[in-house]
Amino acid sequence: MATTYNNLYLDTRNRLRRAGVSQAQTEARELVCYAADKSKEQLFRDMSLYASSDLERRVEELVQRRLAGEPVAYIVGEWEFYGLPLDVSRDVLIPRSDTEVLAQRAIERARAAGEGGRVLDLCAGSGCVGLAVAANAPNCRVVLADLSEGALRLCKQNVRRNGLNARVTCMSVNAMEQPSAMLWDFDVIACNPPYIPTADIDGLDISVKEFEPHMALDGGIDGLDFYRFITAKWKSALRLGGTLIYEVGIDQAERVMEIMAENGFENIIATPDTQGILRVVEGTINN
């Protein structure tokens, strides 16, 4: 019996729900759109039309991959962050809504810096934070910095995809080394570093543990290695009055605030995410 796009979407959504997928509605839509090569608008327009048996087979293959743990973003090769479409692959973490808090704080600081403000997205991954800043603080210039070649390739693709070539550059940078002389005088350094304690990685959800890059997850024994090093060594890349802004893991905010205070940062504050978890820590350097 022929199936409409609507029934195909509803069946996919229900199967994902039964499997415990929290964003079943969004993920079902993404999978059907990808299989059908349609935009969201085209899918909604065509909901009453009948789907071909080939399309049903393609959706089934994608659903099986998802049920085996592969994240939808990797299956379809893209994800949206702060209103921007971004290419993603298994070379980078999937942009998450929690990280939009980091982007928002960085945007506000970049806007406050005014004309010619300079922003560094350190441990950039897909470039999601830096690109959100560039798109929403049009007077600033942004550097996307990462050590992974695969991540930098995606950063460059995403710069082009969002038409931000004029104000965004990409650089190979190891966050766990002293910054080079080329990296200095930033108004804002935004950083979403690896922060999962090494021993906790095996206990993560299969979609993270088996598919996302461990290089972007492992923050050392207590998860704080990157915070300690970057706070101490990268403050030299900030201009006086500049701000270092971190995303932090659950229950890490207080310790990261202490690390920043120990390294001479002032006006240190923490900002919660939509779940009320302290997700972003920031401070300024004034001497």
pLDDT digits (tens, 9 = 90+) for 125-156: 999 999 999 999 999 999 999 999 999 999 99
- Whether domain 79-285 has CATH 2.30.30.90: the reply is no
Strand partners, 188: 119, 243
Query: What are 238's two structure tokens?
Result: 């900030």
Contact status, residue 190 vs residue 102, Cβ threshold 8 Å: yes
pLDDT digits (tens, 9 = 90+) for 15-44: 999 999 989 999 999 999 999 999 999 999
- Quick check: 2 pLDDT over 80? no
Read off the DSSP letter of residue 279: E
Q: Which of 142, 39, 123, 130 is nearest to 82 (CA)?
A: 130
Q: pLDDT-based confidence at 248, cuts 50/70/90? A: very high
Read off the DSSP letter of residue 78: E
DSSP assignment of 224-247, as one string?
-HHHHHHHHHGGGGEEEEEEEEEE
Predicted confidence at residue 58, as pLDDT, reads: 97
- Per domain, the residue ranges of the chain are 3-68, 79-285
pLDDT digits (tens, 9 = 90+) for 167-219: 999 999 999 999 998 899 999 999 999 999 999 999 999 889 999 999 899 99
d(CA 149, CA 26): 30
Q: Which of 56, 88, 86 is nearest to 75 (CA)?
A: 88
* 142-155 burial: b if 16+ Cβ within 10 Å, else e: bbbbbbbeebbbbb
DSSP-based three-state secondary structure for 161: helix
d(CA 194, CA 219): 5
Contact status, residue 95 vs residue 212, Cβ threshold 8 Å: no
Predicted confidence at residue 287, as pLDDT, reads: 81
- Quick check: 3 pLDDT over 70? yes
Angle at 181 between CA 179 and CA 184, to 5 degrees: 75
Strand partners, 142: 119, 168
Classify residue 30 as exposed, middle or buried by CB count within 10 Å of its CB (0-12, 13-18, 19+).
Answer: buried
Strand partners, 242: 285
Read off the DSSP letter of residue 179: P
d(CA 205, CA 211): 10
> For the whole model, what pTM was predicted?
0.94
